[in-house]
Amino acid sequence: ARKIGSGAPSGAVFKSRRRTGEVLEPNSPGRDPIVSRILWLRGTEYKNRNTYRRFIYIHGTPEEWRVGSPASYGCIRMKSRDIIDLYQRVGIGAE
């Protein structure tokens, strides 16, 4: 996995994998940007080898009340505190 967001505050908004400077509180209404941290996945199995080019991430969401329900465009969405914890545990290039 490629890791993006080291040192960013919880709720920091990312667009095209770059911080925008905006920080959102959990459950902020109206939008669903990528927040807090990004783990950019690279598939190791033949059928998933294109995940990196498809920009499939594990990332934070401000819509924390929706975690556990189908609500993404293919990514794995997590609460900010949980993605920050996972981010610290995963090594760069982890499979």
- Structural domains in the chain (count): 1
Main-chain phi, psi angles of 34, to 5 degrees: -80, 130
Question: Would the CA dihedral through 29, 52, 5, 39 be positive or negative?
Answer: positive
In which domain, by residue range, is 82 found? 2-89
Whether 39 is covered by a domain: the verdict is yes
The pLDDT tens digits for 16-68 are 999 999 999 999 887 889 999 999 998 888 888 888 888 899 999 999 988 98
pTM for this predicted structure = 0.89
Amino acid 87: pLDDT:
97
Whether 32 is covered by a domain: the verdict is yes
The pLDDT tens digits for 14-30 are 999 999 999 999 998 87
